[in-house]
Structures are given as C-alpha cells and as structure tokens.
C-alpha cells in the first residue's frame, strides 16, 4: 500500500489523519513542521504528501516551493482551514494536486489520495 507523509504541526490533527489513513490501509509517516517534512521526503520519497499550510519553521507554501525546486514530483494534497479561493489557487499554482478543507472527511480524503496516486506524475 502507498506510503503517505503527513506534514502537520497540530498533534491532534496529525493523529486523526494518521488513524483514518491507517484504517484505509495506508502506511504513514509524520512530520510536525515543513522542515521535518522535507527531510523525510529526501530520505524516503513517499508516494503522497498531506500538507498543512500554517506551520512553524517552513510553512506549506514554502514547502511546496522547495519541493518543486528540488525536482520532486510527489503528489501533494493541502489540508487547510483557509477556505479563501486565492489561497486554494496559490496552492495549486505551487504544485499541489488538491486542496481539502480541515478537518477532512475520511471519504473525501481517501478519494483525493486515490485520484492523485492514479494520475501519472510529470517528469
């Protein structure tokens, strides 16, 4: 099954997402900020990334910029409480494949993950 990296600073949110993904059969890794997340991407190159936007050290927008600048094409789904269309559009322009509202519903999250994993990445 696919390995999903959860990059989220809120422990409760990380735990809820992890439990949901594990029930769906996914393997998970967790990072509590963007810096840790990038280190894990470089070490294990996960199949998919679930990414919060507002985090310490490196936020989600900067994470996406660095990820793409380093050549990673890892499918990335942003999970955020920011529902502004401008924020959603910025995430997509920076390379995210989907943007979900917090807290994500289990089925919506699973559908988004399945969709990005089924789509061949560029490059």
Summarize pLDDT for 75-91 with one digit per residue, the tens.
999 999 988 899 999 99
Q: Is the separation of the CB atoms in 76 and 52 below 8 Å?
A: no
Provide the whole-model pTM. Answer: 0.94
Instruction: Tell me the residue range of the domain where 86 lies.
Output: 3-118
Calpha distance 88→91 (Å, rounded): 5
Query: How many structural domains compose the chain?
Result: 1
Please report, for residues 67, 83, 123, the alpha-carbon distance to residue 102 in angstroms, rounded to integers and kept in the order given. Answer: 22, 9, 30
How far apart are alpha carbons 80 and 114 in whole angstroms? 19
- Structural domain includes residue 123: no
Q: Is the pLDDT of residue 122 over 60?
A: no
Residue 11: which CATH number?
A: 3.40.50.2300
């Amino acid at each position: 099954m696919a390995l999903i990296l959860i990059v989220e600073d809120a422990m409760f949110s990380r735990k809820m997402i992890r439990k949901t993904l594990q029930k769906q059969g996914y393997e998970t890794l967790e990072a509590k900020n963007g810096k840790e997340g990038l280190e894990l991407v470089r070490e294990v190159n996960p199949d998919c990334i679930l990414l919060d936007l507002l985090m310490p050290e490196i936020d989600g927008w900067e994470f996406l910029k660095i990820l793409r600048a380093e050549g990673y094409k890892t499918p990335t789904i942003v999970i955020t409480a920011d529902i502004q269309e401008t924020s959603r559009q910025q995430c997509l322009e920076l390379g995210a494949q989907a943007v979900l509202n917090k807290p994500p519903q289990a089925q919506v999250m699973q559908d988004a993950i399945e969709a990005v994993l089924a789509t061949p990445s560029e490059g």
